């Protein structure tokens, strides 16, 4: 079974997201393993580098994919593909919604805790639990996109 152009673009987006997310995660873990005093400038710089890398790699990969002769690339999306996209968006939306609620609850709990109260004995969890809300929301967004891409591919492969 050959892949359609739209399915290939979803694969590219998923793989780029997973590769950059794993790099970002390993760099964050290294930053947070230092202890509760994580340098906000270092986290911001890392986040900026990852966002720029994501945009550049996505654009380049999709441009390379578009250069190939693609059967059906210029055809409008059919009803089946639209259904796959809507179902996948629903999974991504639920992941994003739950993640945002968890971030808000975490922020409310952090405000209730006394200064320096530990979330766990593990320095990574201490630092990440007390990390800026913006960073947590970016991670939740990224996870929701990975869930959305994965669900989209699942529906393509399942074919219903």
Nearest of 26, 13, 18, 24 to residue 51 by alpha carbon = 24
Q: Is 35:43 a contact under the CB 8 Å cutoff?
A: no
The answer to whether 24 and 46 are in contact (CB under 8 A) is: yes
Alpha-carbon 144 to chain mean position: 6
| Those residues with Cβ within 8 angstroms of residue 149's Cβ, 6 or more apart along the chain or in another chain | 10, 13, 14, 17, 88
Contact 46, 27 (CB under 8 A): yes
pLDDT in tens, the chain (160 residues): 577 788 888 999 999 999 998 888 888 777 777 665 667 787 788 888 888 999 999 999 988 888 876 666 677 788 988 899 999 999 999 999 999 998 888 888 776 664 555 555 555 555 566 677 777 888 899 899 999 999 999 998 887 5
**According to the model, what pLDDT value does residue 70 have?**
67
What is the DSSP code string of 27-94? HHHHHHTT-S---HHHHHHHHHHHHHHHHHHHHHHHHHHHHS--TTTTSPP-HHHHHHHHHHHHHHHH
Cβ 142 vs Cβ 17: under 8 Å: yes
Domain residue spans of the chain:
5-71+79-158
- Note every long-range contact of 120-129, with CB atoms under 8 Å and residues 24 or more positions apart, other chains counting: 123/32, 123/33, 123/34, 123/35, 123/36, 124/29, 124/32, 124/33, 126/35, 126/36, 127/31, 127/32, 127/33, 127/34, 127/35, 127/36, 127/38, 128/28, 128/32
* pLDDT value for 35: 61
């Amino acid at each position: 079974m050959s892949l359609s152009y739209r399915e290939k673009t979803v694969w590219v987006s998923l793989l780029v997201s997973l590769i950059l997310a794993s790099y970002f995660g390993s760099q964050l873990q290294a930053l947070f393993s230092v202890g509760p005093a994580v340098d906000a400038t270092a986290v911001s710089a890392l986040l900026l580098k990852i966002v720029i890398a994501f945009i550049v790699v996505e654009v380049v990969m999709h441009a390379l994919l578009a250069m190939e002769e693609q059967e059906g690339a210029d055809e409008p999306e059919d009803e089946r593909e639209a259904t796959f996209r809507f179902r996948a968006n629903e999974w991504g939306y639920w992941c994003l919604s739950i993640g945002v609620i968890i971030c808000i609850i975490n922020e409310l709990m952090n405000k209730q805790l006394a200064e320096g109260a530990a979330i766990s004995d593990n320095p990574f969890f201490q630092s990440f639990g007390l990390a800026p809300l913006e960073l947590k929301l970016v991670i939740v967004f990224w996870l929701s996109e990975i869930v959305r891409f994965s669900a989209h591919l699942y529906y393509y492969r399942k074919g219903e």
